Structure 1
Amino acid sequence: MTTPYRQYRGFDIFLLVYPHRATQTGFAHNYDEGFDASVRISQSNADTASSHSRVFRVPVSRPFENGGDARRACAVYAERLIDGRGLDQRTWDWH
């Protein structure tokens, strides 16, 4: 799936949306069982060739019904993580 990119408060956010159930070899995409979502958050730093990043799975009890819902949930979840809700400071220790 495509990986939309955006920036928020000095971080790069990549929205990762993928089918809940993997596609079997020889079959078309399996979107009927919904979608799972994760976000990759990295430091925005043009001065550094290598940037540090972390991937966080969006915590939900069941798959998203469609890709649009999953992308919106990713964006909200990433902003909450960056704003400091749901994580302690050690999560952002990049070393």
Structure 2
Amino acid sequence: GKLPKSNGIAWRGNSGLEDGKDLTDVKGGLVGGYYDAGDNIKFHFPMAYAMTMLSWSVIEYRHKYEAIDEYNHVRDLIKWGTDYLLLTFNSSASHIDKIYSQVS
């Protein structure tokens, strides 16, 4: 997706800005999230696991993240991943009948 100004990696640029743009049942497309192992594909189960573990580390060690001034940064990282995952299914429907689980 379009990287925020707070991106601390100078060589990294925007990516996948067209993901899901042709899908009529996905509001806003499938932009965002994280690629898996440099493969240029977004696998959702590993991404969900990573967001869970990262969130758990913040719950357990918030004071450590705050001490090194990374608390807001780690929250932004989690939000980037979870916002993307929420785009991959019809969460506003009365029942979920579609989910996109791999995007490349």
- Whether TM exceeds 0.5 here: the answer is no
Q: Name the structure with the higher strand share.
A: 1
What TM-score do the two structures reach when normalised by structure 1?
0.31
Q: Name the structure with the higher helix share.
A: 2
What TM-score do the two structures reach when normalised by structure 2?
0.29
